Amino acid sequence: MHKTIQIAILLSLLFFSAPSSLHAAETLRVASGGFTTAIHAVLWGAYEQKLFRKYGLDVEYLALNSGRLGMQMMLSDDVQVLFSTGVTAVTTNLSGGNLAIIAGGLNFFPNKLIVRPEIKRAADLKGKILAVGGFGAANHTALLVSLEKLGVNAKDVTIIQIAGAAAQMGALIKGVIHGLMFNEPQASIAIKKFGMQSLIDLSEIKTPFPQNSFIVKRNYLESNRDKVVGIMKAVTESIYMLKRDRPLAIRLIKKYIRVNDEEAGIGYDYYLAKHAEGILDLPDRRGLQFVIDDIAKTNPKAAGQTPESLRLLEPSVLDEIKKSGFVERVK
């Protein structure tokens, strides 16, 4: 009798538990890597407003200080989609990787070279210490471009790494460093709150550059296309949700960047209101070529390479979403 009851219980457990485990949604990790700006709100909105779930996805969102860390996690399959600078995709594919950029963001440098009050002109930078988030990162490239345009030899300054906007701001205020590349709203905070100044605003020059890119491994895209499309549908809906709902966007920016209402508004107006729809286009190939050519100065593997030879751009995901009429439906 006991054996019969045990068998019945076992069968019932198998019957009721097996389907749920079979159909349980796989947890996907979507990460942003590198310097955090208000354009990342498209991910925060999709995550906090449960838009990923709306498209049948169980997504864990990770905010990482480093695009390089995000790339390492992607290569080890700990992250499935990464929102970071396109530079990381270039360097990885040059090393034999097989990454694809499926969507964009800002396709130019949004940075300003913010310096301490005692730096009055470009010549004052000689012998000074400047910071970047990481060597080879987007803001490192932006700094080198800024120095070149200002006529300053990069060998005449010391460049160090400091990860994270809060740590960078603290180092600037304390005089540990004399300058760094900041985006909005951090640039305005440094100027208005702490008396810093801008030596050059690269956003006014509009040099093509893959500042933001959604990146996946090609083999993951090929075997999980529906999931990648679902992630980008959630992001697309989030873009227009936040453009319509400024108060929601401001709350998200304040939560994730820890700024006040005015500063969050600066970030919203610049990134979301003006440039968020740039996500729905691939990065300008000229910007990727700029990165490749810059890397070729120190890495022979990059010589003669192009975005096409490195298979960097993959338009099919955005093409599918646009051709389906999805964008018009969520606008």
- Same domain, yes or no, for 96 and 214? yes
Say yes or no: 91 and 214 in one domain: yes
pLDDT at residue 302 is higher than 90: yes
Which amino acid would we find at residue 200? I
| Position 4 in a domain | no
Q: What is the pLDDT of residue 25?
A: 64
- Tell me the three state secondary structure of residue 58: strand
Place of tokens 């400091």: 162
47-93: per-residue pLDDT in tens? Answer: 999 999 999 999 999 999 888 899 999 999 999 999 999 999 999 99
pLDDT at 206: 81
Residue 21 falls inside a structural domain: no
CB 240 within 8 A of CB 113: no
Note whether 73 and 117 are same-domain residues: no
Same domain, 241 and 312: yes
pLDDT tens track for 215-261: 999 999 999 999 999 999 999 999 999 999 999 999 999 999 888 99
Note whether 172 and 218 are same-domain residues: no
Q: CA-CA distance, 19 to 15, in Å (whole number)?
A: 7
- Does any domain span residue 12? no
Mean pLDDT of 290-309: 96
Q: Does 5 reside within a domain? A: no
In this structure, the answer to whether residues 247 and 99 fall within a common structural domain is yes
**Which residues form the domain of 155?**
112-204
pTM for the structure as a whole: 0.84
Average pLDDT value over all residues in the chain: 91
Average pLDDT of the residues in 150-172: 95
Summarize the confidence of residues 295-306 as an average pLDDT: 96
Show which of 186, 204, 222 is a domain's final residue. Answer: 204
Instruction: Identify whether residues 83 and 190 lie together within a single domain.
Output: no
Number of structural domains (the chain) is 2
Is 316 a member of any domain?
yes
Per-residue pLDDT, 301: 96
What is the CATH number for 237?
Answer: 3.40.190.10
The answer to whether residue 312 is domain-embedded is: yes
Residue 164 reports pLDDT greater than 90: no
Quick check: is 14 in a domain? no
User: Quick one: pLDDT band at residue 7, thresholds 50, 70, 90?
Assistant: very low
Residues 317 and 250 in one domain: yes
Q: Residues 91, 295: contact at Cβ < 8 Å?
A: yes
Residue 79 to residue 100: CA distance in whole angstroms: 14
The predicted structure's pLDDT at residue 171: 98
Residues 197, 252, single domain; the answer is no
CA distance 283 to 208: 9
> Per residue in 21-41, pLDDT tens?
333 468 999 999 987 899 999
In a domain, 245, yes or no: yes
pLDDT at 296 over 50: yes
Same domain, 161 and 285: no
Q: What pLDDT is stored for residue 66 in this prediction?
A: 84
Last residue of a domain, one of 204, 231, 248: 204
| 136 shares a domain with 103 | no
Of 157, 177, 204, which residue sits at a domain end?
204
Percentage of the residues of the chain whose pLDDT score is greater than 70 = 92
Same domain, 173 and 292: no
| One-letter-per-residue 3-state SS of 255-275 | HHHCCCHHHHHHHHHHHHHHH
Give pLDDT, residue 8.
Answer: 40
What's the pLDDT tens digit per position in 316-328?
999 999 999 999 9
Helical segments of the chain, H only = 2-23, 41-48, 51-54, 67-75, 86-94, 138-150, 165-174, 186-194, 218-223, 225-244, 246-257, 261-267, 274-275, 285-296, 316-323, 326-330
**Short-list 166, 176, 119, CA closest to 146:** 119
What's the rounded Cα separation, in Å, for the pair 152 and 124?
10
